[in-house]
Amino acid sequence: MIRFATTRLLSLALSLLMASIVVFAVIEVIPGDPAAYMLGLNASPEAVAALRDELGLNGSVWARYISWVSGMLSGDFGQSYTYRVPVTELVGQRLAVSLPLTLMALLLSTLIAFPVGLIAAARRGKISD
């Protein structure tokens, strides 16, 4: 049992690592400079360079990835380039609406799935199964 749990945990860790690499890579290949986007079209190159330094965008790809992952693990999801507020604040605002919707969907799906499962179990091998 311990071996099974260890195998599953290692698979989970590998899956999360691969997912984080894919997400980071997709973010990196999106065209455009986040600093230039945040400052607008009329921004001076000096202002863009200063903001790139402030955001840590001038480091190597691996340094940015390590910084990004360590921030994720510590609960610091960074700052939104669009709204210029912490991402945790944006998520918190939307959670007030998303959580009740999620709970209602879970309740509704359970209320439907439980009787359907009972019918399928009671009529094993029939068309309703």
Q: What is the pLDDT of residues 60-81, one digit of tens each?
A: 999 999 999 999 999 999 888 8
Q: What is the pTM of this model?
A: 0.68
Residues 19, 16: Cα–Cα separation, whole Å: 5
Mean pLDDT of the chain: 91
**pLDDT tens string 88-97:** 999 999 999 9
Domain map of the chain by residue range?
A: 86-129
pLDDT at position 89: 93
Instruction: Assign 56 a pLDDT band (cuts: 50, 70, 90).
Output: confident
Kindly report the backbone phi and psi dihedral angles of residue 86, in degrees, each rounded to the nearest multiple of 5, phi listed first. -60, 140
Helix 2-29 to helix 61-73 angle, to the nearest 10 degrees? Answer: 130
Instruction: Assign 129 a pLDDT band (cuts: 50, 70, 90).
Output: low
Tokens 């899956």 label which residue? Answer: 15
**In this structure, is the dihedral angle defined by the CA atoms of residues 44, 46, 51 and 56, taken in order, positive or negative?**
positive
